[in-house]
Structure formats: C-alpha cells, structure tokens
Amino acid sequence: MKTILFFHTSTHEAWRKELAGLYRFSHTVKWNIQIIEPSNKPPPIKRLLDFWLPDGCIVECSGREAEYFDAAAFASVPTVYIGRDPRTLPKNSDCINADPSGPGQIAAKVFLSAGIRHFAFYAASGDRFWSRDREAEFRRTLWANGYPCEVFGRKANFKNGEARGKALRDWLKALPKPCG
C-alpha cells in the first residue's frame, strides 16, 4: 500500500471536501493517506519525509501557513500542490488551481449584460496570486469592451484591519452607482 502525505493549511469547508474526495479515491487505489495538520511550530518537512518515507505528497497551500511549503523540501518526492501560484514552483511541478480567467471574465460579462457601466474590483489582502489573476481577467474583459475599472487594496498598505475597513467604506461610497 502506498503512503501519501496530505499537508494542509485550511480548516474551511473546501478543505473538508478535498479530504473527503481524497479518501474516496484512496480506497479505489489502495493508498494510505496520512494527514499532516497545521500547527504553530510545524516540524521541518525533511523530518516528516524521512519518518513517513511517502510515495507522494499532496500539499494544499491556500491557507496562511502556505509559506511553510518550500518546493525545494519536496524535491525528492512526487508532489502535487493545490492552491499554489504555479509561478513559484519548479517547472516540472504539478499544481491544481481553479481557472483564473473564469470568475473575472464571467463577472464582467454578467455586469455588462445587465447594463452596468461602472466597475470596481476588491483585491484580496496579502496580494494573493488568484486575486491578481482574477483582477487581470476582469479588467482585461472590461477594457476590451471599452470600460475602465477601479481597484481597491492592491497596492495599499493598511496599519490594521480597522484602517482597511474604513478605507474600503470610503472607497465604496465614492464609487459611481450602480457599480459592478
């Protein structure tokens, strides 16, 4: 039976669904899945790999602790990354992500079809790669149809969440209405 380590950083519903799907699949291919839970002081990845001697790893990187997963640490083991910016991985790495063009393009099309003529994008804090990619596709689709787009938060640094919230409220109030 092959041993697969599943590292994760999230306790969200999406992670629980990923895990349930992985368990269903593992029964059909006879994998032993070992879950590596996030912790405040995680052990070095090399120590975990030396202990388990896995046949492969699945590394879910969408949570705050994603920086813990240095791709070089997994170089000796076949590894699939979930929710990781593929531009940060070696060229031969496997990565599973949602199509970044889908949400931005679909949102722009829905708003344009509804007759909206003013547009804004709320950029996720932390400059997440998926937010940058969605924003780029949203703006590209609007630009192709002759419309600009206001963006909140991409290049701003806020002292704390309260300052971000106040800036967001002020930004929303200043946007022309209706706005998509």
pLDDT for 42 equals 80
Q: Decide if pLDDT at 19 tops 80.
A: yes
Angle at 132 between CA 151 and CA 143, to 5 degrees: 55
Report yes or no: 80 and 31 within 8 Å, Cβ to Cβ: no
Q: How many residues are recorded in the chain?
A: 180
pLDDT category at 12 given cuts 50, 70, 90 is confident
> CA-CA distance, 158 to 156, in Å (whole number)?
6
The answer to whether the predicted template modeling score (pTM) of the entire model surpasses 0.75 is no
Query: What is the predicted pLDDT for the residue at 132?
Result: 87
CB atoms within 10 A of CB 10: 19
Give the span between the Cα atoms of 138 and 109, in whole angstroms. Answer: 9
Predicted local confidence at residue 65, as pLDDT:
59
pLDDT attached to residue 148? 96
Report whether 119 contacts 88 (CB < 8 A). no
pLDDT score of 179 more than 80? yes
Residue position matching structure tokens 């800036």: 167
Q: From its phi and psi, is residue 149 left (phi > 0), alpha (psi between -120 and 50) or beta?
A: beta
pLDDT in tens, 139-171: 999 999 999 999 998 777 888 889 889 999 999
**pLDDT tens digits, 35-77:** 988 777 888 899 999 999 999 999 988 765 566 788 889 988 9
Tens of pLDDT, residue by residue over 109-128, are 999 999 999 999 998 766 77
Strand partners, 3: 32
CB 97 within 8 A of CB 130: yes
